[in-house]
Amino acid sequence: MNWEQLLSLRRNGDTNKRLRNEQDETRLGFEVDYDRIIFSSAFRSLQDKTQVIPLSKTDFVHTRLTHSLEVSVVGRSLGRLAGKKILEKHPYLQEVHGFKFNDFGAIVAAAALAHDIGNPPFGHSGEKSIGEYFRTGSGKKYKEQLTDKQYQDIIDFEGNANGFKLLAQDREGVLGGLRLSYATLGAFMKYPKESLPKKPTKHISDKKFGFFQTEKQTFEDIANNLGLIQTRKGASVSYARHPLTFLVEAADDICYTIIDFEDGINLGLISEDFALEYLIKLVKDSINTKKYRSLAYKEDRLSYLRALAINTLIQDAVSIFMENEEQILSGNFEVSLLDKSKYDAQIRDIIGISVERVYRAQEVVEKEIAGYKIISNILDVYIDALVQKKNDSASNYHKLIVQTLPEPYQHTHISLYEILLNTCCYVASLSDSSAVHIHNKIQGRQL
């Protein structure tokens, strides 16, 4: 892979090539990507979607929105630092094509901003509950009417694939969704493969999948334009990651490692003394002990350690990226950047505590259980109504149910697979509170 091609400013529907040295510096194309994501309705819904604690009543626990904003900030720093080193190593990118280090920061920031845009309500249990509805629930009856890949798409419903659909799918009168640059879409794609074969290798890009069958051709067009390396051909399609995806992933890894841990402290699930001990281990080489001891309040101590920890991991991730740039460009780098971190032991300790004390906390488990029931119920009612309408056997009740869906999700002249997938994507678009509200309405509990 080569950087000139990977930094493509092309957008869906372009007839002319977009050249970097012809860009308006006051509104660079990669920065337009960020703006389009920020102003999208899908991004706004993240303000009421679970990061860790579903339906939290406190105001200091992160939602998907605050998490995404923080990941984009860290991603921007990672991109700029790496971009500066890449331009030093490959000066022709700046001298001939006009690329600047801020371009790398803008691409990574935009892709990082969108990294959770396709995630369902109720955290990771939301993805699992959609899949379980079709694997073991009422939706299992549709299996024989779908291809293997179509069925795999929904039993392993993937927020990353839904995110790509939101960003890039054609809609009536709108080609290419948000019409983001191919560079940003490429950097967004953590798992550039379809749902089958499942986990064919231990390579990190094969861990999950990144697009549904409905967006397969769209993704292939983008991947080929970017010059991504095709790693499987024939019936099953997969590509090597866009190199900047590793920085997007690192930004997410850094934030959830440190921020989820911080949420656990703020919620009282992790004791402050215990937590500070773990954070100090991570920043022992950069901490100003005198300054730290002068901070009287827990909030200020946490804030100081958080900033040091994030900066420490940013510097480390960029070093790992540059040390392995050739492997990354050849598609042979098989793990995340932080898997190679010299702070791996400290990171694993922190994540281990978060899993034990936060992710498995009673409040989290109880609300995830409720989420399973709510999502299953919504899918059951809407899918039944849409399928009955498609089969010309809809009752008046079914017709009323369909009318409550947003217009793009009411279509039944499409295939069964598209109806099922669209309904999954509708449920995934709901905020936590909206899902509860709709569940209560269709159960007749509120008018």
Are 11 and 179 within 8 A, CB to CB? yes
Low-confidence ranges of the chain (pLDDT < 70): 52-61, 446-447
pLDDT at 443: 83
Half-sphere exposure of 397 (CA within 13 A, CB side): 5
- Helix ranges (H only) for 62-147 are 64-89, 92-95, 101-113, 124-135
Round to whole Å and give the CA distance between 316 and 327.
17
Are 20 and 7 within 8 A, CB to CB? yes
Angle at 317 (CA atoms; ends 344, 91), nearest 5 degrees? 155
pLDDT at 413: 95
Rounded to the nearest 5°, which phi and psi values hold at 63?
-100, 175
Round to whole Å and give the CA distance between 318 and 81.
7
Question: And the tokens for 375?
Answer: 């999502």
Round to whole Å and give the CA distance between 309 and 6.
30
Helix (H) or strand (E) holding 444: none
Cα torsion 387, 388, 390, 393 to 10°: value is: 160
Are 338 and 253 within 8 A, CB to CB? yes
Of 150, 191, 229, 207, nearest to 415 (Cα)?
A: 150
pLDDT at 238: 96
Question: And the tokens for 315?
Answer: 């510097």
Around Cβ 39, how many Cβ atoms within 10 Å?
10
pLDDT at 409: 96
Strand partners, 232: 238
pLDDT at 297: 87
Of 398, 400, 239, 225, nearest to 331 (Cα)?
A: 239
For the stretch 360-407, pLDDT in tens is 778 778 878 888 999 999 999 999 999 999 999 999 999 999 999 999
**Measured between alpha carbons, how far is residue 87 from residues 18, 22, 74, 91 in Å?**
20, 19, 20, 5
Of 71, 66, 35, 70, nearest to 48 (Cα)?
A: 66
